[in-house]
Amino acid sequence: MSGYDIYEFYIDAFTPASIPMSRLAEYMAGFALLCGHEEHVHFDKLKPGSLTVVSRIQPVAQNKVQRRLDEVRFGTAPKAAMDAFRQIDEKLVADNAVGRILRGKAKFVELPWRERPAESNPGPIRPAGHPGWRSDSGR
């Protein structure tokens, strides 16, 4: 459809045939909240291959949706958009997935859960004077 901006929400852990319908609905609802302006954001199709939800943005809302996604990317979006971003991220964590929102060939928003560096666990930290504490000079 000419005149519409196209945004794609890509999730690598699923295909259209493998994702449970209820989970797809959750991701699509989160994507709609993330974009905002729901009355102007429309589902277009699922692409074959890895799961890609394709949406169309009506011309009247294109600048608003682009601004909102920019704000999400920089962490300055309204609370509802940031909450949607966190909820999508939590779903990706649970699904061991990486997600991204694309506009054309450009990666607009990254949700790289599985590709993030692992957090290190320094182990128990004992204050000086604690029975299990040893200074370097005690070796």
Task: Convert the pLDDT of each residue in 119-130 to its tens digit.
Answer: 545 555 555 555
Tell me if 135 is assigned to some domain: no
State mean pLDDT over 131-136: 53
For residue 46, give its domain range. Answer: 1-54+73-111
Q: CB under 8 Å, gap of 24 or more: what pairs does 112-117 form?
A: 113/89
Task: Convert the pLDDT of each residue in 28-60 to its tens digit.
Answer: 999 999 999 999 999 999 998 999 999 999 999
Tell me if 127 is assigned to some domain: no
Choice between 126 and 93, residue whose per-residue pLDDT is larger:
93
For the sheet with 5-11, list strands across it.
41-47, 51-57, 5-11, 99-103, 106-111
Tell me if 86 is assigned to some domain: yes
Tell me if 13 is assigned to some domain: yes
Q: How confident is the model at residue 24 (pLDDT cuts 50, 70, 90)?
A: very high
pTM for the model stands at 0.77
The count of C-alpha atoms lying within 13 angstroms of the C-alpha of 103, restricted to the half-sphere facing its C-beta, is 14
Task: Convert the pLDDT of each residue in 105-116 to its tens digit.
Answer: 777 788 765 555
With a cut of 60, say whether residue 83 has pLDDT above it. Answer: yes
Q: How many other CB atoms sit within 10 Å of the CB of residue 88?
A: 24
For position 139, what pLDDT does the model report?
A: 47
Domain count, the chain: 1
Task: Convert the pLDDT of each residue in 55-82 to its tens digit.
Answer: 999 999 999 999 999 999 999 999 999 9
Tell me if 134 is assigned to some domain: no
